[in-house]
Chain A
Amino acid sequence: MLLTLAVIIGIPFLIGGLALVIPRPWNGWLALLAPATVIALGLPLWMEVGGGGEILVPLSWFPDLGLTADLFVNRLGAFFVMLIGIIGLGIVQYSRYYLKEDATGWFWFLLLSFMGSMLGIVLADSLLLLFVFWELTTITSFLLIGIDFGKEEGRKGALQAFLVTGVGGLALLVGIVLLGQLAGTYNLTELYAMSGEIVADPRHTIPLILIFLGAFTKSAQFPFHFWLPGAMAAPAPISAYLHSATMVKAGVFLLGRMFPIFSEAAIWLPTLATIGLITFLVAGWNAVKSSDLKQLLAHSTVAYLGVLTALYGFYARVGLEGELVNILNHALYKSSLFLLIGWMEKAMGSRDLAILEKERWIGREKLGATLIGIGAFAMIGMPFLLGFMAKDTFFYAVAEGPIEGLTLALVITVLASTLAVIYALKLWAGVFFGSEEPPTGRGYPRNKISIWLLVVPALLLLPQVVGGVIPAWYLGQVVEPGTTWQGVAFWQYLDVKLVITLAMLVAGYFGYRHWRAIAATPFLSKLPSVQRGGEGLVSGTLAHASSLSRMLQLGGHPRYGSIILLVAIAVVIGGVAFSGRTLFDHGLVWGPNPEFAWFPALVVAIAAVFTVTLRKRIPKAVMMAVVGYGMAVFYVFFRAPDLALTQLLVETVSVILLLLIFRRMPELGDDIRSVRRRVVHGVVAVVVGLTMGALAWAAGSYHVAERAGYEQIRLALPIAEGRNVVNVILVDFRGMDTLGEIFVLGIAAFGAYALFRGRRHRPAGPEAEEVKR
């Protein structure tokens, strides 16, 4: 079983990778193999678990941390596998003829990777694994929306989709982590077993809300519904597959996966019903307003996703009846409609109702008209179609049984369904039943359009029609085993819903006739746009980030120096505070204390002040040398003659070098710092000096039981055989330090050489533009 599931998930990735290296058109043929394999392997799965039952396949992942990559197949999962496979097969075939040379290896790679990721989502038992594939669909979706990235529209839509679903992904991640911490497992089947305990624990609310956020962003629920229409810049088959049939249903699928855990949670039903119905209504309204038919379909997709979301809420009371019918219904008719809009663009040269509404295409495109008609009627929920059964289950769920009275939910449902009638009619009647004869030559000539562009949607619509005529067998055996369907034909379902449906049809027809007037209603068109709010947030963040970024780096090295020195003082104070003692609680005596030490100390201090304040280079260098020689005196006091000698040597050499260099350098200019700044710098310098001095004194005057260097002194003569301990330390005990310092000097010399040589090699003025920046 592991092999089967691994092949189902893996084969699309594998073939996608192959498509990168195999030239066109062979890679298109190869691509067909991926969904075909998925169907071939998925069908037995469906047979096995379709009537109930589960398959759990353990798979080790992070054994030390108790995380698994278990796979899990149940009815919902197997159903989605088949859905992804079957619609995927159609999409691949359609793409081959629709995109032609635009179907590059990269396109197939991305499309098939997306397919594999979707399959991963629906087959994961581990929420962690589910999340990995979840984000992979976000990534592949981003790249597929922007596949035509030369166009601004595509780039913008892709970015928006990525950011919105990205936010949701992060929320989902945190939700999963918190849920995992609450329950002690990330595996769905184990979570199912303990749903009672989880819901009883009040801490379940935050993870649940975060998981909702993940589902709502993915499924474009209000108020995140705006990204989906923006994603429609993608070519038709991608819109059909990702943004109608599968990816946007991942959010709904997640709700389906969470249902057994959280359906009893207090916020489950109210949240899902509210968000779902608001989405249904708002998106329906947007669809009524749309003139671009692809945008119309996008909005109507959002509307139906609202239906599916609301349904999961209501299922908490009425049970999971009609769960798959609704998903299947929408996936079939909506993806077909998207594909047909793709065909329409080629055949009619437009998908804008402002143009098409005037034209009468029914005469010329009968097959297209029939297919779009079936799709539109399925959208309305007309009898003889699967859409009718779906609508029936929806009403049943909203009314929580047979309709007995009006509730707010029912009113919204009726209202939004009426809007659905309006936009379905726009799509069909609007395009095919205008008055003027359509022009020739705006689209492609008919022989340039492959018949597959109609055959694929026709095949996908086939189950819609069958579904209406013989529902009991069809629904009972294939879609909803275990549910007792009332009868074999639509008339057996008729009750008060018939009245409502008729009223909706009539109202919808009038609405369709006057849709432009409705869309122009000033009150409704001024609804605040969430999208604008989101965009404002993004541009605001960017603007602030850019000023922050500039501000952070202001001031140059004087400021950086001040900051690091001030932090150093803070750290010293912090260290002292941490120890709980004072710097000098062990006394002040440090080494031999000759009475006249104050004299060289004073000389050093005065020379240091002059080094800083003098404004000419050569006197500065001389003063620095005085500081250095003063230090040598201290080495003598501390009875370290070789250190004193070394110090004298270093000071002498460096002062000579500095004087030689400074002769060739220009004089220093005046101090351009403001007085305030000079005071600040002066204070920082003095405080740092005092702090470091105090620290040095405190460390030096502290007497450890075994003094520093004690062992070296004892070992120098007998083992290292040297009479001068300092020398032994330098060349033996710590010889590596000396070697390192030799290299440091060497690198300094070489670096200076490279600096000057590099300069000489530079061709004249190549970076002029950059310097100006």
Chain B
Amino acid sequence: MMNLVAAPVLISLMTAVVLLALNHRPGTQRIVSIVSHLLLVASAVGLLVPTLAGEVLVLTLGNWAPSVGITWVADGLSAVMVFFALITSLLVLIYSEGTFDEGDGVRNYFHPLHHLLLAGVCGSFLTGDFFNLFVFFEIMLLASFAMISLGARPRQLNLTFPYVLVNLVGSTLLLGGIGAVYGTVGTVNMAEVSLAIQTQELPAAFWAGVGLILLVFATKAALLPLFFWLPDAYPIAPIAVNALFASLLSKVGVYTLFRSVPLITGGEVGVIQAVLVVVGAATMLIGVLGALGRSGIRDILSFHIVSQVGYMVFGLAVFTPLAVAAGLFYTVHNIIVKTGLIMAGGIAERMGGSQKLGVIKGVARTHPWVAAAFFICAVALAGLPPFSGFWGKFFLAVAGYQAGMYAATTIAIVVGLLTLSSMLKIWLSVFWGEPSGNKEPAFGNSKGMLVPTLVLAGIAVVMGFGGGPIMHYSMVVAENLLAVTPYVDGVMQAGGISADDLAALREGVER
């Protein structure tokens, strides 16, 4: 049972290696890639079922105790993130086939890189160890560097360079922060660090290190003022890569904040809360204004990621179970909906040959199903009922007002309207109007692209109507997350060989 925790990472790593070997047999490569992705989803379901019941699954690698080796932990939060990341990326994988040109060399590299990226993402979700997290960040980053530059157009390389640079600087800072933490508490295990915070008085260097770690998480999440790397780099990447990054990468940053802030604060926020509230509110506002000012389909959608990360972090910042549950609901919803939008917008972009607004018009008449998928995801993104985004927004508003954070909560509400405006900007110029500018109408009808997009829109609808049970589980996860002890106890009681066993062992030998 515990070994299942390793399944998502190991399956995707092994798949990536096999896919590399199959690089010259594209047909087989696709089949292996998708079949193994289905396996991944199955393993994620296996993790989801027990953890949503409140269980914490801990795997001590090599049977070393948390203080000695590496532990991987699946609790509700991890399992939910893994599950939705895998569902969405499976749909992106199916969709991706249509986004590459025939005979394009790029497509053969996409599949192995996709699985390597997944290994990094799932590992980040599942590891319970700061240094191991750094390693998975590196896997994720290197894979993303390779993916974002697939095709290697000069302009693309230009605009993705800041992405590479900022992330490398981030890695260095993260390493520095982890070093400071390790040097002061003598462990990089998250649960042990959390325990140390609760039981010891720690020196300044420790807290400075924690600050650096959080800074890097905030950079990954693209929070203000550290989001610059995102809005230029994402839209220039290939469509499928953009969809994948939008659904996975910044959410890894958000996840790490959700994971680490309760562990670090041990349930009592204070300064961190004030910082997170201000940063969250500013991020959602600046992000949406930035998106409103853009004039390309994926330009707008990518800038929006920044704004929505602000929402999620605001949910965390309020720090009540309801708010954190709402933030979590919003995060899951955003993974689905943002991917759906980029996929639907990507179909229009493929047909028009450019993502600039005004190039292609009238898609709603020529391809109503593409338009329907886009529209549902767009209004869901803006937080209109009865679609998925509403519940995140509504419960966030309830929790925010309950906590007395009137200004920040009101900003969150107003941002919803600005989001709607920017979505309508795309809708009016691309989907409405007399049809024109469509160079390849066949794309809009290709089932491989349309079906995954519609599935995502369908999930947005289901999550809207089925808000009750999802919110129920979000509350379970959020309560456990804020209580901290279930996670820490789960890890500390995992067993494994530690130096204490040494004494017992010696005794046994002597006897």
Contacts and interface: CB of A to CB of B under 8 A. Distances in A.
Contact of B176 (A169, A177, A696): A696
Nearest to B425: A542
B13 interface: yes
A735 B210 CA distance: 25
A747 B205 contact: no
Contacts of B182: 699, 708
A385 B183 CA distance: 89
A561 interface: yes
A760 interface: yes
Contacts of A556: 162
B169 A155 contact: no
A743 interface: yes
A557 B165 contact: yes
Nearest to B180: A699
Given A62-B471, A575-B212, A698-B180, 13 more contacts: A62-B472, A146-B432, A545-B292, A549-B293, A550-B293, A561-B165, A571-B208, A583-B203, A583-B205, A695-B205, A698-B204, A747-B113, A751-B113
Contacts of A702: 183-184, 203, 205-206
A619 interface: no
B454 to A, nearest CB: 13
Which 10 pairs, one residue from A and one from B, show the smallest C-beta to C-beta distance? Answer: A751-B146, A549-B293, A761-B105, A699-B183, A575-B211, A546-B293, A575-B208, A149-B432, A740-B135, A545-B293
Interface in A687-709: 692, 695-696, 698-700, 702, 704, 706-709
Report the contact-size class of chain A (Cβ under 8 Å from the partner). Answer: 35 or more
B52 interface: no
A675 interface: no
A448 interface: no
Contact of A181 (B70, B170, B390, B402): B402
Interface stretch (A129-137, A222-230, A397-405, A495-503): A129-137
Contacts of A578: 207, 211, 271
Given A65-B322, A770-B155, A751 B142 contact: yes
Contacts of B229: 560
B410 interface: yes
B384 A572 contact: no
A59 to B, nearest CB: 11
B186 interface: yes
B68 A163 contact: no
A149 B105 CA distance: 40
A743 B290 contact: no
A699 B184 contact: yes
B61 interface: yes
A390 B333 CA distance: 49
Given A174-B410, A769-B354, A744 B225 contact: no
Interface stretch (A462-470, A504-512, A663-671, A711-719): A711-719
Given A560-B162, A583-B208, A541 B292 contact: yes
Given A146-B432, A740-B138, A704 B186 contact: yes
Interface in A706-739: 706-712, 714-715, 718-719, 732-737
Interface centre among B135, B183, B401 (most CB of A within 10 A): B183
A760 B105 contact: yes
A758 B150 CA distance: 6
A103 interface: no
B286 interface: yes
A519 interface: no
B362 interface: yes
A737 B131 contact: yes
- Interface of A, secondary structure class, is helix
A162 B379 CA distance: 11
Interface in B131-186: 131-132, 135-136, 138-139, 142-143, 145-146, 149-155, 161-162, 165-166, 169-170, 173, 176, 179-186
Interface centre among B145, B215, B385, B413 (most CB of A within 10 A): B385
B297 to A, nearest CB: 13
Interface of A: 60-65, 106, 128, 131-132, 135-136, 138-139, 143, 146, 149-150, 155, 159, 162-163, 166-167, 169-170, 173-174, 177-178, 180-181, 538, 541-542, 544-550, 552-553, 556-557, 559-561, 563-565, 567-568, 571-576, 578-579, 581-583, 585-586, 692, 695-696, 698-700, 702, 704, 706-712, 714-715, 718-719, 732-737, 740-741, 743-744, 747-748, 750-752, 754-762, 767, 769-771, 773
A736 B104 contact: no
Nearest to A566: B225
B413 A170 contact: yes
B367 interface: no
Contact of B398 (A162, A177, A585): A177
Nearest to A732: B62
Given A61-B468, A708-B187, A755-B152, A761 B106 contact: yes
B266 interface: no
Contacts of A743: 13, 116, 119, 139
Contacts of A579: 202-204, 206-208
B153 A767 contact: yes
B109 A757 contact: yes
A743 B103 CA distance: 28
A305 B151 CA distance: 59
Contacts of A747: 113, 116, 139, 142-143, 146
A173 B397 contact: yes
B305 to A, nearest CB: 14
Given A173-B413, A547-B293, A751 B428 contact: no
B70 A736 contact: yes
Interface stretch (B42-50, B311-319, B441-449, B495-503): B495-503
Nearest to B295: A546
B231 interface: yes
Contacts of A573: 208
B207 A575 contact: yes
20 contacts: A150-B432, A159-B428, A162-B420, A170-B416, A544-B289, A549-B292, A549-B303, A552-B290, A553-B290, A561-B166, A579-B206, A714-B502, A715-B498, A719-B502, A719-B505, A734-B70, A740-B132, A754-B146, A762-B152, A762-B153
Interface string B358-386: 00001011001000000100010000111
A181 B401 CA distance: 8
Contacts of A692: 176
A560 B165 contact: yes
B64 A572 contact: no
A710 B499 contact: yes
B434 interface: yes
B8 interface: no
Given A563-B225, A564-B166, A548 B203 contact: no
Contacts of B153: 762, 767, 770-771
Contacts of A581: 203-204
A758 B105 contact: yes
Interface centre among A136, A573, A699, A710 (most CB of B within 10 A): A699
Contacts of A561: 165-166, 169
Contact of A757 (B61, B105, B215): B105
Contacts of A760: 105
Contact of A695 (B112, B176, B214): B176
A564 B176 CA distance: 14
Nearest to A136: B386
Contacts of A159: 424, 428
A750 B112 contact: yes
B421 to A, nearest CB: 7
Nearest to B146: A751
A755 B211 contact: no
Nearest to B497: A719
A162 B384 CA distance: 12
B69 interface: yes
Contact of B472 (A63, A128, A155): A63
Contacts of A143: 375
Contacts of B105: 757-758, 760-762
A342 B431 CA distance: 27
